[in-house]
Amino acid sequence: MTQVERLLEHLKVNQVINPLTAWTELGIYRLSAVIFLLRKAGYEIETNLVEVRNKFNEPVMFAEYKFITNIAEEVKAHTDALAYKKASEEHGREDFYKWFAENPLSPLASIHLMMIEREIAASKIGVI
């Protein structure tokens, strides 16, 4: 599972994340870079700056990210990814490339397709 996939799953369940949680629970050191990729893929993520005091009683700030769920977009992306998968299985190589050129996937649907492909591969080798 990639950092993007781990973060997306975490945000779907927990709605928020901060750099410390990303590092300790997901192994993501550069959280802002992965957030950037999710935003680029079409996910809406809000940034809030949180101010706290560190152990030396100094004020410090960090970003906390909140996932804004858009169920309609998620369903469409997943449906598009499934259609893409079905078309790749039904069409010959040349026909598929033509179909894909006429029906490009959104970045959000591309992430869904990647997750579908990983689940299929994992089920074939008995991981899930």
Give 35-47 pLDDT, tens digit per residue. Answer: 999 998 888 899 9
Q: Is the pTM of this model over 0.75?
A: no
pLDDT top residue among 117 and 39: 39
- pLDDT > 70: what percent of the chain? 82
Q: What pLDDT sits at residue 22?
A: 97
Residue 104 has pLDDT above 80, yes or no: no
- For 4-36, letters b (16+ CB in 10 Å) and e give bebbbebbeeeeebebebbeeebebeebeebbe
Q: What angle do CA 121, 127, 128 make, to 5 degrees?
A: 90
Q: How confident is the model at residue 88 (pLDDT cuts 50, 70, 90)?
A: confident
pLDDT averaged over every residue in the chain: 83
Q: What pLDDT sits at residue 40?
A: 87
Q: What pLDDT sits at residue 85?
A: 74
